[in-house]
Chains A and B, each alone.
Chain A
């Protein structure tokens, strides 16, 4: 064997052993409690890199703001919260990996995190396996109720169903569905079709495009030919920018081709360009313009911390709420132990930016007020309708007869 070959082998061996050795330096200590130190660690797990970073970084920011505020108000059980921030990197297995790290190495008391359904589905088994808690802050497709997840975003009956009620009230008869090709739009559209069938409305088209798709001329052409009363838009992220730009440049406005979107918030409006999307409808539970002293304080604090040009949006608010709700539950329970927190959380009610929010102990979702808004030329969203009172979460739509065949 030549010297050269020997060197190759030595170097290869060096690579293998350096990985094993340096990994062995990270040892977790399963015996230490989760609130033993002077601080309580909490995990914050969002995509800070990759395609989802656009959205998730702002949620992380609002969660950190909430943690800061909780600490300023005396912390939890008299201890300060110490956020451990991890990057899910827009990659679902990475979310699972980091969740496990937060639980077994950082020994966090709870974790706030996730945005996409895929990331939640990836993390769910990790939290269930370790019997630890995840607070998930984004509206989602429902049909889930893990005992180890608290859902502070809307489920379908708090966003999509009220939006449909609103459309029905406005006399919209024909609906065209446009969505990104993943679980939320597909589930949402199933619900819409069931609702339409039971309420004298008709779905006259259903189109899905790959995530990140930016070519919408064909779909705009189909819309022009189908002439629906309303387009129900469940596109995600970048695709919204392309869709609305191309819709607008094909000569359609909110008057000639009205749409209602459930994934376009203040953040996205800025990227699309308010001029391209002004007048279109959106459905959420919170807008930056939502009235109330609590929201004014939230917006002011957020802008003071992150910049006066920043906007606040529904998922950010839901993330903020999650921290506040957990802190309240832990303080009420007098412990950060999972079972105690779960028990204490049931029925907890706080005054938060979107209004009164109450945790439903049964399915661990929250009561939320549905709000329909119209996008303004300045990029803000003006509320034109709300459900009047917080809607009880019903992730499996059990209380809706027309939804019987869905779950």
Chain B
């Protein structure tokens, strides 16, 4: 976003919103901002890198559970067990949980866990040139498997209930409105940093390379680059952002359950980006806010029709505005200029080409 637009947004989110919104609505906005952080990562991986990740919830969950484990331990106090363990019949703290008592370790894990999983998966599938539709289906299956894994380990993860009743966040009292406002500001700042960082990345040579790989992976390979490596990096960055967003989601909402990271939740993370505009970082942020706000409004006013609206949104955006709201102007221009000498350069034709079979 241009400096002016960025400044206006920053003022709007950092100053105006905390002043005019009721605590309840500010909480909601904080939640939307968490999703917007994920959206920034998706815009990088999908918009720039052409990797449609239907499993972003997994990374959101990894970051979220890492944070949730720490907060539950802090809540329980030293030597005590988190509440759900006692009703799950766990008698001593599982080994996996122990290091999460350390806040620094937790913060590192919030980023590292998603990155490691993304690198592992990415280097496996991208090296084998699994992409496009295949990659989408695999990442979706990953989300499905991850949820089953989490639900199945009730003593370790809280099962379907997830981690609930989180009341403090690094000294902030989550029952206190002023502290919650501070939490909101932290989320907004993290979003700002994520946006600026990814914008920088997208504008760099690396960003160009990523777009080049999206539009012609084989060609890039014959320029001497390893596309698997480049894609894995983008995938890992988007995973890290999702992890951070998940970690912030936990104190904002006060709980985290496997339903927040399953197949449907992962798709909902995407649709905001699609609505806002996958090729524009700012559009992705706006879209994520708009979509989640619409979800709240509809479920308050017309719960029965929300699925129709959500379904229709997917259809309408894909049919009439594949570049999203942010791309509307460009799309209109292309329509007018269709007969002109300019080819539509802003819509990458190759971004979405069918799975090639190369042997």
Contact = CB atoms under 8 A, between A and B. Distances in A.
B329 A100 contact: no
B330 A4 contact: yes
A87 interface: yes
B253 to A, nearest CB: 5
A15 B306 CA distance: 20
A49 B303 contact: yes
B29 A211 contact: no
Interface stretch (A16-24, A262-270, A335-343, A355-363): A16-24
Interface string B279-293: 010110111011001
Question: Which of A86, A144, A182 is packed against the most chain B CB atoms within 10 Å?
Answer: A182
Contacts of A126: 254
Interface stretch (B13-21, B45-53, B95-103, B350-358): B13-21
B303 A87 contact: yes
Contacts of A404: none
Contact of A19 (B24, B160, B289): B289
Contact of B24 (A17, A104, A407): A104
B23 A48 contact: no
A207 interface: no
B164 A122 contact: yes
A52 to B, nearest CB: 11
A280 interface: no
A49 B276 contact: no
Interface stretch (A88-96, A161-169, A292-300): A88-96
B186 interface: no
Q: In which size bucket is the chain A interface?
A: 35 or more
Contacts of A9: 1-2, 5, 282, 326
B22 A100 contact: no
B346 A104 contact: no
Nearest to A119: B161
A192 B29 CA distance: 45
Contacts of B289: 15-16, 19
B342 to A, nearest CB: 11
B123 interface: no
Contacts of B159: 181-183, 186
A271 interface: no
B18 to A, nearest CB: 10
Nearest to B4: A9
B78 interface: no
Contacts of B326: 8-9, 11-12, 15
A7 B277 CA distance: 12
Interface string A183-198: 1001100100000000
Interface string B151-162: 110100001111
Interface stretch (B128-136, B208-216, B231-239, B255-263): B255-263
Given A48-B304, A122-B164, A125-B164, A13 B88 contact: no
Nearest to B83: A121
Interface string A114-125: 001110011011
A27 B293 contact: no
Given A7-B329, A14-B286, A86-B300, A23 B1 contact: no
B40 interface: no
A96 B254 contact: yes
Given A14-B286, A19-B289, A23-B29, A124 B165 contact: yes
B257 A92 contact: yes
B148 interface: yes
A122 B254 CA distance: 8
A55 to B, nearest CB: 15
A14 B161 CA distance: 37
A261 B327 CA distance: 55
Contact of A89 (B28, B162, B303): B303
Contact of A26 (B22, B148, B253, B256): B22
Given A97-B253, A121-B161, A16 B283 contact: no
Interface in B93-144: none
Given A7-B329, A118-B257, A124-B164, A49 B293 contact: no
A92 B8 CA distance: 35
Nearest to A29: B22
Contacts of A384: none
Given A16-B12, A86-B300, A104-B23, A183 B152 contact: no
A16 B260 CA distance: 23
A89 B254 CA distance: 18
Interface of B: 1-2, 5, 8-9, 12-13, 16-17, 20-25, 27-29, 31-32, 84, 86-89, 148, 151-152, 154, 159-162, 164-167, 175, 253-257, 259-260, 276-277, 280, 282-283, 285-287, 289-290, 293, 296, 299-300, 303-304, 306-307, 325-330, 333, 346
16 contacts: A11-B329, A12-B277, A13-B5, A23-B28, A26-B22, A49-B306, A91-B260, A92-B259, A93-B260, A97-B31, A100-B27, A101-B24, A118-B162, A122-B255, A141-B87, A211-B160
Given A17-B8, A19-B290, A20-B21, 13 more contacts: A1-B2, A4-B333, A6-B2, A12-B277, A12-B286, A13-B5, A19-B293, A20-B16, A23-B28, A23-B293, A87-B306, A93-B255, A129-B167
